């Protein structure tokens, strides 16, 4: 019996205006239609959030207790082939950086398709861009990297059809 996997190939990232409702499959199906697709992504790394942990122990015994505190939101780097003519996703990332503004991101996996009545498993979050890098190296394509800051909790919206 084979193990179920979700391939990373086919993952897409869409950027929507701040405040866009992406809380349900139906909302995502509406939002993606006018969202801006970030083209030719090479890597997005990990979507990370962590909870601060405080550990307590006594000198007189080996017992240990832990308390969980506030959430720390991570960042990820979107690596892309640079496209000077891109008027959608890459342009939107540059605009976010230049104007110090935020958007809503939809990261859609390869286990379904974006359509009027379908959507894949999605991770949604508010984002901002803290750095833009254009990498130019010998014997390589020009690459663009954007450091994307996660600004809200990451929500998982299961794939679904309406």
Tokens encoding 89: 């996703």
- Per the domain annotation, does 4 fall within a domain? no
Q: d(Cα 4, Cα 28) in Å, to the nearest integer?
A: 25
Does 6 map to a domain?
A: no
pTM of the model: 0.89
Length of the chain counted residue by residue: 162
| Domain hosting residue 118, numbered range | 12-161
Query: Which residue matches tokens 């929507």?
Result: 16
Does some domain include residue 112?
yes
CATH at residue 147: 2.30.110
pLDDT 10s digit of each residue in the chain, 162 long?
Answer: 789 899 999 999 999 999 999 999 999 999 988 899 999 999 999 999 999 999 999 999 999 999 999 999 999 999 999 999 988 999 999 999 999 999 999 999 999 888 888 899 999 999 999 999 999 999 999 999 999 999 999 999 999 865
> Residue 35 and residue 100: Cα distance in Å, rounded?
19
What is the number of structural domains in the chain? 1
**Closest listed residue to residue 119, CA positions, set 107, 134, 102:** 107
The whole-angstrom separation of Cα 123 and Cα 155 is: 6
């Amino acid at each position: 019996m084979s193990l179920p996997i979700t391939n990373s190939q086919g993952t897409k990232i869409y950027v929507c205006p701040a405040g866009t409702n992406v809380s349900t499959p139906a909302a995502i199906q509406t939002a993606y239609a006018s969202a801006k697709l970030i083209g030719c992504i090479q890597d997005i790394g990990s979507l990370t959030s962590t909870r601060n942990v405080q550990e307590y122990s006594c000198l007189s015994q080996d017992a240990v207790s832990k308390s969980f505190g506030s959430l720390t939101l991570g960042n990820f780097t979107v690596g892309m082939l640079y496209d000077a003519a891109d008027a959608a996703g890459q342009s939107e990332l540059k605009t976010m950086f230049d104007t110090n503004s935020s958007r809503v991101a939809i990261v859609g996996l390869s286990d379904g398709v974006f359509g009027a009545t379908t959507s894949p498993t999605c991770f949604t979050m508010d984002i901002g861009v803290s750095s833009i890098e254009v990498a130019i190296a010998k014997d390589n394509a020009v690459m663009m990297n954007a450091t994307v800051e996660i600004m809200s909790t990451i929500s998982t919206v299961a794939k679904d059809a309406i």
